[in-house]
Each structure stands twice: as C-alpha cells, then as structure tokens.
Homo-oligomer: A and B are copies of this chain.
C-alpha cells in the first residue's frame, strides 16, 4: 500500500522527537529552536521542516509522543479516593520534566491557537472527562451533593494544578497539599451547623 520512493526514516523521526523533548525540558520553549533540535538529533533542518510546520507543532508532538500523560483510571468503591488518585498522578507528572514541557506548550499556545486547540483535544479534554466521570459516580453514590455542579468542581481542581505549574505560587510537590486542597474543596468554607445543637 505504500507507494514508491524512499520510506520515511522512523529512526530520524524518533531522534527528532526525543531531541525535541529533551531540549524542551532543558530550556523551555522560549529557547527551543529547530536548529537546535536538528543538531542534537543528528538530522538536517530540512528534514524537520518537511514534516512539521513549525516549532509549536513539533513541541506538541514531542510532548504527546513522549510524556506519561496516561494516568491510570482508577475505579474503586470510593469516588473521593479515585479523585485523589487521579489528581495525585497529574501532580506528580507536572512536578517533573513533563510539567516543564506542558508549561511551555500551554504558554506557546497563547500565540498559537492551533497548538492550544490540539492540546485541548488531546490532553485537557480527556483528563477532564475522566474527572467528570468520577464525580458523576460520586453523585450517584451519594458521596457528593446531588445538586453539585460538576464542571465547577473539575475546574477548581484542575485550576489549582495548572496554577501551581504556571504561576508557581507554591511547589507542586508540597507534601500534604493535594489532600488539604481536595478536602477543602469537598467540604466547603461555610460553617456546618451541628445537628445536635442549633446555631
């Protein structure tokens, strides 16, 4: 089914994507350069330009090909515990090399809507959907309020992760952080009147 001609070199392709990922985690996307990728991968610049339209697309594919973006989908009896598992997994991956690359991609997207769109479809949406599923299950369980607005909760949980990644209020691997965050999101801020004694 493949037509005539020299086939594309998978070796070159892999070398390019590997080099791209390495350079992204070393320097971030600001100093990420096609020529740098060519040099480190041992390939020619022209080969890169033949297959990728620009640095945004290349960085994106390097991320998708290389990152451990596939957190396992837990499904235990407790929706809260599953939530914790998923969010912990994301936090761990954000705290490492993948996090820096993700940050580069997201921020590159500010001036490259196409790249940001792909990131949405390939990374953000699937993950959000996973959270949604878990929360819906929790609502059916009775673990969560029946009138809970799922999107809002998803946004709050995801938002904290991305904010720590990008703005760096505080480190992503601060011990106990995620537990505290989840607990408070679930419990809310308003005082809970005790049933045994009115307030």
Q: Which residues of A contact B (CB under 8 A)?
A: 27-31, 100, 103-104, 106-108, 110-112, 116, 120, 124, 128, 142-146, 148-149, 152-153, 155-156, 158-160, 162-164, 166-170, 180-181, 184-193, 195, 198
Query: Which B residue sits closest to A181, measured CB to CB?
Result: B152
Q: Which residues of B contact A31 (CB under 8 A)?
A: 111
The answer to whether B159 and A156 touch across the interface, beta carbons within 8 angstroms, is yes
Q: Which residues of B contact A149 (CB under 8 A)?
A: 180, 184
- Tell me the number of copies of this protein: 2
The answer to whether B190 and A186 touch across the interface, beta carbons within 8 angstroms, is yes
Query: Which B residue sits closest to A30, measured CB to CB?
Result: B111
Q: How far is the CA of A160 from the CA of B162 in the complex (A)?
A: 9
In whole Å, how far is A18's beta carbon from the nearest beta carbon of chain B? Answer: 21
The answer to whether B124 and A191 touch across the interface, beta carbons within 8 angstroms, is no
In whole Å, how far is A57's beta carbon from the nearest beta carbon of chain B? Answer: 15
Q: How far is the CA of A30 from the CA of B28 in the complex (A)?
A: 13
For the complex of A and B, list the 10 residue pairs with the smallest distance between their C-beta atoms, beginning with the closest: A188-B188, A159-B163, A159-B159, A30-B111, A107-B107, A28-B111, A159-B160, A186-B189, A195-B195, A187-B188
Given contacts A106-B107, A110-B107, contact A191 B152 (CB under 8 A): no
Interchain Cβ contacts under 8 Å between A and B, 5 examples = A100-B110, A106-B107, A124-B169, A155-B170, A156-B184
Q: How far is the CA of A184 from the CA of B184 in the complex (A)?
A: 11
Q: Which residues of B contact A188 (CB under 8 A)?
A: 145, 184-190
Given contacts A30-B111, A191-B145, contact A156 B162 (CB under 8 A): no
The answer to whether A189 and B148 touch across the interface, beta carbons within 8 angstroms, is yes
